[in-house]
Amino acid sequence: MMKKKVSIVLIMAIPVLLVAISGTRTNPKIVHTVSWDSSETSELFYKACADCHSHETKWPWYSYVAPVSWKIINNVNEGRGEFNISIASLGEAYEAAEEVLEGEMPPREYLILHSEAKLNTEEKNAFATGLTNTFGGEGGHDDDDDH
Ligand code: HEC
């Protein structure tokens, strides 16, 4: 009897524990805003890229549950480290168009739970042009923050 009660309490503690150890999700202050070439480009960016390349991440419920949360938090931090529209030093923004055209970004695993981020060829081409117009293309410079 006693044993059973103890195991039920332990089982109920598991979700609490998984949330407790899920890690730290941050959305730091936005200190830079992009002048988009068009609202379409910005819309697509917020649909397909902003979760990992801005400080406007929409953290889904499963990002609050370990161990999935660790992977997501890592991805976001790594993505922000490479390219981040919310800080003056945008990073590798000039590669954004190429990543889209090559189908490298958004990452495949992201698309499993974000079908809205799936772009068809036409959308990819338009988006890539918009990204180049906004951030400059290949051969551009790292800190492209003044337009
Ligand atoms: C699920 C998170 C996630 C999403 C969504 C995402 N990225 Fe990334 N991005 C990353 C990570 C992680 C890296 C660094 C590691 C790598 O290159 O795979 C990265 C790297 C980059 C880089 C730097 C070049 C490079 O390959 O290292 C660019 C440019 C980029 N992403 C553009 C985009 C664009 C444009 C979109 C939207 C179409 C997008 N990303 C969507 C996570 C993401």
| Residue 83 belongs to some domain of the structure | yes
Does this model's pTM top 0.85? Answer: yes
The whole domain housing 10 covers 2-135
Among residues 67, 69, 73, 125, the alpha carbon closest in space to that of 97 is found at: 125
Residue 140 domain-assigned?
A: no
Ligand 1 pocket test: pick from 75, 105, 113, 135 the residue with the most ligand atoms within 8 Å of its Cβ: 105
Assigned domain for 142 exists: no
Tens-of-pLDDT digits for all 147 residues of the chain? 567 888 999 999 999 999 999 999 999 999 999 999 999 999 999 999 999 999 999 999 999 999 999 999 999 999 999 999 999 999 999 999 999 999 999 999 999 999 999 999 999 999 999 999 999 876 444 444 444
Residue 61 lies in a domain: yes
CB 110 near ligand 1, within 6 Å? yes
- The answer to whether the CB of 79 is under 6 A from ligand 1 is yes
- Phi and psi based region of residue 29 (left: phi greater than 0; alpha: psi -120 to 50; beta: remaining): beta
Count of domains forming the chain:
1
Q: Is 145 part of a structural domain of the chain?
A: no
Whether the CB of 92 sits within 6 Å of ligand 1: yes
